[in-house]
Structure formats: C-alpha cells, structure tokens
Structure 1
Amino acid sequence: MHPALWVSKTGLSAQDTNLSTISNNLANVNTTGFKRDRAVFQDLLYQINRQPGGMSTENTELPSGLQLGTGVRVVGTTKQFSQGNLQITEQPLDLAVDGRGFFQIAMPDGQIAYTRDGQFQLNSDGDVVTPDGYPLEPNVNVPEDTTNVTIGRDGTVTAVTNDQAAPVNLGQITLVNFINPQGLQAIGNNLFKETNASGDPQEGEPGLAGIGTIEQGMVESSNVEVVEELVNMITTQRAYEMNSKVVSTTDQMLQFITNNIG
C-alpha cells in the first residue's frame, strides 16, 4: 500500500489529539486558576535510502541524502503556567497567587495536592477548605465569633472577634514552588500532584525566595486566550483537511493504476 496513506493517517490522528487539547482549553475558559495545555508534536522515524555524507565515489560524498519521513505524533502536552488575570471578588476567603507558587491542599489519603484555585470556604468546624471540602495546609481555623478575617500578602491570617478588640493571629498560609511546574500531574478538581519531573516542593513564605504574594479578595482567572485558541482551532482544522486531501489524492492515484494497468 502507498506509504502516503499511513503518513497522512498519523497526521489525522495528531490533529485530532490537538483539537481535543484546544477544546479542553476552551471548555475551561472560566475555570479559576486553570492553565492552558499545548500539544507538542514530534516527527516519526525516517527511512534512510541514501545516507547524507555517504561516499558517491572514492573522492566525493553526497551533500544530502534521501530521507523519507513516516509521519508525526503528539509526544506530550505541556501546561502553560503564565499568570492569569486577577479578578476582584471582595470575598475575604477568595485568594489569588500573584506570581509563582501553589496553595497546599490536604487530601483524604494523607497526601498533599497543589492548586492555583483560591476559592476557599469554611466548613462546619471553621476550617478553611476548598469547594470539595479539602482543608488548606497548613490548617487555618476561624473562630465562630469572628467578624472579620484579614489575610496579608505574606500569608499572615488575623481575625477580629466579638470577644477581643485586637486582631487575633490565626496562623500563616505558606506557598510551595516547583523548579519545573510543567512536570506536575493534573488530577482534576483544579488540583496537581508532584512527580519526579516536577521536582520536590519548595515551601516558603509568600513574597520571599521567588514565591509570589497572596492577594485577598481576588481570584486568578484562567489563562486561556479565546482568540488564540480559535486561531489554533482553525489552523488545526485546515491541517486536518490537508491530510484528508492526501488520503483522497493517494486513493485516486491507486484507483488510476488499478483501472488502467492490468
């Protein structure tokens, strides 16, 4: 069978995966703290019919060879951890990271997950938790008679209660940074977990050692650019159509041979 059929087949498959990545980005355009994905392409093995630099005679060499590619594949997807826009909500437990860093979330299995989504709430015990009920780590507990909660840019949490006029220190929110955040594994629910590729989490006080600051009353919006994704979608569609045209053209060539040679 004509090799162009198999080459174009890999192109169709790769563009299909690329479109899935783009559609996921667009689906999460309003997801707080979401980071867009980008598909990474890689060409496949080459068939070397004439080796570049091979000797054509005893004293001459080939300036270029004959190398036939076998197609393309999507080798991976990378998260783009560029800063999303900060939106003001004026909710005291809405927090945004301005710069590098992740909030730490204690999971039910005892492990720590990481997120850029700072839409926190209180549970029945007064603990600061995610919308799924997972507590913030380190744990912050807000007393029942609290009238006002203030979270500083350095993560210091203070509260004013009915019993005391002076603010009460409730704890310190720390952030973690990774040398390679693109190596984090997305596990859904706006959460990530560390892998060997991400490196170990480096915990620190917000605003120090390259870690971003915490902004109270704000959330970080998705960093998906709708116009860019739509342009990528059009490019993907045209690439898919061109690969489909290769299949159609190859089929016509084979049909011509079938009908006229025999």
Structure 2
Amino acid sequence: MTAPTWDPQQYLRHADHRTRPFHDLLARIPELPGAPAPRIADLGCGAGNVTALLAERWPGARITGYDNSPQMLERARSHATALLDFAEADAATWTPAGSHDLIVSNALLQWVPRHADRFPDWLDALSPGGIFALQVPGNFDQPSHALMRELAESPRWRSRLGGRLRHAGAVLSPAAYLDRLTAPGRTADVWETTYLHLLSGEDAVLDWVKGTGLRPVLTALADDEEARDAFLAEYRDLLRAVYPAGPHGTVFPFRRIFAVTRREK
C-alpha cells in the first residue's frame, strides 16, 4: 500500500490547536540528564515546528528530528541550527544510535502498526534518568474517523479505498500503554485529555482532517480529481450533519492519550 503523501501547508493550517497537546506533554517532562547538552530524538517530527519547541526548552541540547515524509522534512529543515538537525527514518524500524536523554513522539505512532512492539528498543536506549514521552490521538471511534472509514468501505469506494484507513485499534488504551511502559527500573505516567477545539472557517473539520487522517484517501485519489472531489463532497455532507457550525465556530472534540516514562537513575 502506498504511503500517504503529506502536505505541510495543509497540516499547519490548524497549528495552534495541533500544537497544544505537545505543550501539555512537554509540561510533564522533567529536567533531563545529560546537562548541559542532553541528547534528544523527536520521532515523527513532521514540519519541525514542535521540534523547535524542544530546542527552546533545552537550548543546549543536541536534537535530531526524524520523519519518513520528504515533504515534511523539507519544511522541517527551515528550523535547523547547529544543534538541531533532521533526518529521514521510519519509526517502524528506527533504532536509536547511542544513548538518549529524551525520545519523544508526538502524534505519530497511530500511523505505525504494532508500535508498542518498538518500545523495548527505545526504552533500552535511554540514559539513566532518561525519558520516553508520547502523545497519540484517541478519537478513532469518533464521527470524524468512523464516517471516513464507513464511506471508504461503501460499495462506491471500496474497490479504490477499502482497507486504506486506520481502524479503531490504531492506538492502545491508556491502561494498555501503562502496562507496556511500566517495569522494574521504570516509572510511567499515563493520562488522557479531550480538547474542545473551536475551529473557524467553512467546513472546518473537513479542513482539519485533510491535513492528517484523510491523507491516505487524498493520496489514493491524487490522479483522479473528479473522484477526489466526489469523495470529499460526500464526506463533507456527513461531517456537516455531525459537526454543525455555530455562532462562534465549529466545536471539534478531540481525545488525546499521553505517556511519560522515566528510566530510574
């Protein structure tokens, strides 16, 4: 199956809302070992805007942002400095080179099947006192995603789009993450938050998912403008019924799951 093609400009259209969970994750990460120059990996750096926040928090850190999207990496490299660089890597196979004081992954792992199986390699690479922190969306059972999957699997679209979208099991439950991350010599803090994003603009939820969850559909139909527009029109009408625009914008509930794991010193 073809990997989704990413559009950094579309993704960043809702950057303020998308970045808020990372700020909340960052606030729960304690000071790192390795001062004054901790080693940090941002796994799934995307457009690099949140990687730059890591550099603000730890200005002396040696930071590498990893992503497998050429489009995202091209945008991310605008944030590069002497201490902050970016490299191509796939989280499904990435293994840290050497010890790290922080490995962080923000809104990536939902794209990686069986991603919890990668945890042991990443946790083993933490220095004493090091941190592994993650944030993933937990809204795959919500209408924005359920309707997308149902439409893609409908008779009209199944032959072209069937099986392309992530299912409700793309992420684990908070309890399952706690179980996979807690062990002798490690402590884990796991929580969830539902944000009520107030989005502006026409068909705001559709505009949001065009930057993320809808990417496999847009990639599959990229060479057929008529089919792409037909799918978007059907999906748009479904979303309008569930997420009506109000006087102040469109309310978009979005659940997120967080975890911060620390290796004992």
Q: TM-score, normalised by structure 1?
A: 0.22
Structure (1 or 2) with the greater strand fraction: 1
